């Protein structure tokens, strides 16, 4: 008997809202989460803005006395996981029975711990070493902390495949459920605002100084963001049996690796990953009506991604809405494709596609329907969630409305 996998719970921690409701309301009204960076001094940098989360209080999700041992990526992930469980109307008691996979993607993991160590190091000299801080760094801490907080039993891992990590994790959970290894899976991604990331993208001149305007002719780059997105995946029959709200069905995913360059995206690899995702999922190309783009807002990414999409869909590309929610959130790194998958689920469920904000002037190399500035009502049968990461690691997840 074929095991089908559906999404029944969504948890978001983002700069435009914590929790599915606020996130979606702000997403479809085109609200920006970009502001002046406050988590560190940016006076020596050329740009000063990013997508930091302002109103996150970890004590809403984690007992006060445990917070000291849990760093920010894990805090986000725990919060988003609890929100996803609440959304799925599943108690901790239920989730701790049966087999639940936890797979969480990240780019920098608890890189903030290294940053903290470095700060001390550069202030006080080489020999000051940092007790417990390093033990919070290894990135498996994220899934360990979530698993411990929720009491789940089952495979628990972090998939740190950079900016495509959320999709990789969704794929992992999907495979666990459809094989019958797991009954449920908490999957997604988490990344805190990273000074190292900010430094690196700044030095690559890849960051926009003001706003992120994907697909626009005058786009100036990406913006660093932070957040977490967690999806609760469940086997269809068990979801139906308990009367769960089903957002979408996960039909499959594709992976590919450019194997060319650490930072420059390649048309061939992106084309391959979309083709593969479509083939594995067994959907008709004609049924794809929304693509949540990787759409970072850098000149190279958007051009390459559009070219790949056009290669796959040809003339039919014009019928597909292709938006980038990074225009609102900035690039939330390992969380990005997870939050974008959540956007896909809600688009499919609600018949509305989120906009690409800050769009002013069309770019002939990005001649797609990027849903400029205003959300659009549209019945979405099948949505693709694109993600393209450092190292040429591409992943594409296919989601379909469940009727």
Partner 1 sequence: MDREAGGEGETITGTVPSERSERVDCPIGKYMNKRIVITGIGVLASTGIGKEAFWGALKEGTSGMKPVTLFDTSNLGSHLAGEISDFDPKEILGNKGLRNLDRTTLLVLCASKLALDDAKIEAPISEEDTDYFGVSLGSTMGSVWSISEFDKTALREGPRAVNPALFPNTVINSPASQISIKFNIQGFNTTISTGFCSGIDSIYYAMNMINLYEYNTVLSGGVEELCEQTYKGFHKIGNLSGSKAGNEEINCPFDKRRNGLMFGEGGSIFILEELEHAKARNAHIYGEILGYGTSFDPKSNNICSPKAEGATEAIKLALEDAETSPEEIDYIAATANSTLDCDIMETRAVKNALGKKTEGIPISSIKSMIGETFSASGAMNLAGSLCSLQENLLLPTINYEKRDRRCDLDYVSNEAREAKINKVLVNSFSPTGANSALVIGRYE
Q: Check residue 86 for interaction with partner 1 (CB under 8 A).
A: no
Q: Which of 139, 212, 292, 331 is catalytic?
A: 331
Residue 86's Cβ-side half-sphere holds a number of Cα atoms within 13 Å equal to 12
Site stretch for partner 1 (CB under 8 A), options 1-9, 215-223, 343-351, 367-375: 1-9
Q: Check residue 225 for interaction with partner 1 (CB under 8 A).
A: no
Over the window 244 to 273, marking each residue x when it contacts partner 1 by CB under 8 A and - when it does not, the resulting string is: -------xx--xxxxxxxxx-----x--x-
Beta carbons of 290 and 261 less than 8 angstroms apart: no
- Using the Cα atoms of residue 247, residue 176, residue 228 and residue 205 in order, give the sign of their dihedral: negative
Q: Smallest distance, Å, CB 235 to partner 1?
A: 11
Q: Smallest distance, Å, CB 333 to partner 1?
A: 9
Candidates 31, 86, 175, 299: give the one binding partner 1 (CB under 8 A). Answer: 175
Q: Smallest distance, Å, CB 306 to partner 1?
A: 21
Q: Which of 139, 212, 292, 294 is catalytic?
A: 294
Pairing of strands 184-191, 100-105: parallel
Helix (H) or strand (E) holding 119: helix 111-124
376/391 Cα distance (integer angstroms)? 34
The residue count for binding partner 1 (CB under 8 A) is 90
Q: Check residue 115 for interaction with partner 1 (CB under 8 A).
A: yes
Q: Report CA dihedral (177, 178, 179, 184) to the nearest 10 degrees.
A: 10
Candidates 9, 51, 160, 355: give the one binding partner 1 (CB under 8 A). Answer: 160
Candidates 2, 125, 241, 403: give the one binding partner 1 (CB under 8 A). Answer: 2
Largest CA distance in the chain: 63
Q: At what angle do helices 165-179 and 336-350 cross, to 10 degrees?
A: 70
Q: Check residue 151 for interaction with partner 1 (CB under 8 A).
A: yes
Candidates 22, 121, 285, 381: give the one binding partner 1 (CB under 8 A). Answer: 121
Q: Is position 48 annotated as part of the catalytic site? A: no
**Smaller CB distance to partner 1: residue 211 or 389?**
389
Q: Smallest distance, Å, CB 47 to partner 1?
A: 10
Q: Is position 294 annotated as part of the catalytic site? A: yes
Beta carbons of 53 and 75 less than 8 angstroms apart: no
Q: Check residue 240 for interaction with partner 1 (CB under 8 A).
A: no
Residue numbers 326-365 binding partner 1 by CB under 8 A: none
Q: Check residue 135 for interaction with partner 1 (CB under 8 A).
A: yes
**Smaller CB distance to partner 1: residue 33 or 392?**
392
Q: What is the DSSP string of 11-57?
A: EEEETTEESHHHHHHHHHTT----EE--SS--TTSS--EEB--SS--
Residue numbers 6-45 binding partner 1 by CB under 8 A: 44-45
How much helix, strand and coil, in percent to the nearest 5, is found in the chain? 40, 25, 35
Q: Smallest distance, Å, CB 181 to partner 1?
A: 9
Site stretch for partner 1 (CB under 8 A), options 72-80, 131-139, 309-317, 357-365: 131-139
Site stretch for partner 1 (CB under 8 A), options 147-155, 211-219, 311-319, 337-345: 147-155
Q: What is the 3-state secondary structure (H, E, C) of 172-214?
A: HHHHHHHHCCCCEEEEEEEECCCHHHHHHHHHCCCECCCCCCC
176/373 Cα distance (integer angstroms)? 38
Site stretch for partner 1 (CB under 8 A), options 24-32, 300-308, 350-358, 389-397: 389-397
Q: Check residue 180 for interaction with partner 1 (CB under 8 A).
A: yes
167: its two tokens: 């999709």
Beta carbons of 216 and 323 less than 8 angstroms apart: no
Candidates 29, 133, 238, 311: give the one binding partner 1 (CB under 8 A). Answer: 133
Closest residue by Cα to residue 257 from 102, 393, 103: 393
**Smaller CB distance to partner 1: residue 354 or 401?**
401
Q: Is position 306 annotated as part of the catalytic site? A: no
Site stretch for partner 1 (CB under 8 A), options 50-58, 200-208, 212-220, 358-366: 200-208
Residue numbers 276-305 binding partner 1 by CB under 8 A: 276, 279-282
329 φψ region: left (φ > 0), alpha (ψ -120 to 50), beta (else)? alpha
Q: Check residue 230 for interaction with partner 1 (CB under 8 A).
A: no
Closest residue by Cα to residue 160 from 207, 110, 203, 125: 110
User: Annotated active-site positions, please?
Assistant: 163, 294, 331
């Amino acid at each position: 008997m074929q095991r089908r996998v559906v999404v029944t719970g969504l948890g978001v921690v983002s700069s435009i809202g914590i929790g599915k409701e606020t996130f979606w309301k702000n997403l479809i009204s085109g609200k920006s989460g970009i502001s002046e960076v406050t988590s560190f001094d940016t006076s020596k940098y050329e740009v000063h803005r990013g997508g930091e989360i302002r109103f996150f209080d970890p004590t809403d999700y984690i007992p006060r006395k445990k917070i000291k041992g849990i760093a920010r990526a894990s805090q986000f992930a725990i919060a988003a996981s609890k929100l996803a469980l609440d959304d799925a109307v599943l108690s901790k008691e239920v989730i701790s029975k049966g087999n639940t996979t936890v797979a969480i993607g990240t780019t920098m993991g608890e890189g903030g711990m290294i940053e903290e160590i470095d700060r001390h190091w550069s202030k006080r000299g080489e020999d000051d070493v940092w007790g417990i801080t390093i033990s919070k760094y290894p990135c498996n801490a994220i899934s360990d902390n979530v698993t411990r907080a929720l009491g789940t039993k089952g495979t628990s891992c972090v998939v740190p495949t950079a900016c495509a990590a959320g999709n990789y994790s969704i794929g992992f959970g999907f495979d666990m459920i459809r094989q019958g290894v797991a009954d449920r899976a908490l999957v997604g991604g988490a990344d805190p605002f990273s000074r190292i990331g900010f430094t690196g993208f700044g030095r690559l001149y890849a960051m926009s100084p003001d706003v992120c305007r994907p697909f626009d002719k005058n786009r100036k780059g990406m913006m660093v963001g932070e957040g977490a997105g967690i999806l609760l995946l469940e086997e269809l029959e068990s979801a139906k049996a308990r009367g769960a709200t089903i957002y979408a069905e996960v039909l499959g995913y594709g992976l590919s690796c450019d194997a060319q360059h650490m930072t420059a995206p390649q048309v061939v690899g992106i084309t391959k990953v979309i083709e593969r995702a479509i083939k594995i999922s067994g959907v008709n190309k004609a049924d794809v009506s929304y693509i949540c783009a990787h759409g970072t807002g850098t000149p190279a990414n958007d051009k390459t991604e559009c070219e790949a999409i056009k290669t796959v869909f040809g003339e039919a590309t014009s019928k597909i809405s292709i938006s980038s929610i990074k225009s609102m959130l900035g690039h939330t790194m390992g969380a990005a494709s997870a939050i974008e998958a959540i956007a896909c689920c809600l688009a499919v469920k609600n018949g509305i596609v989120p906009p690409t904000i800050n769009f002013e002037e069309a770019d002939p190399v990005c001649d797609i329907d990027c849903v400029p500035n205003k959300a659009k009502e549209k019945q979405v049968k099948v949505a693709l969630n694109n993600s393209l990461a450092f190292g040429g690691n591409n992943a594409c997840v296919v989601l379909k409305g469940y009727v």
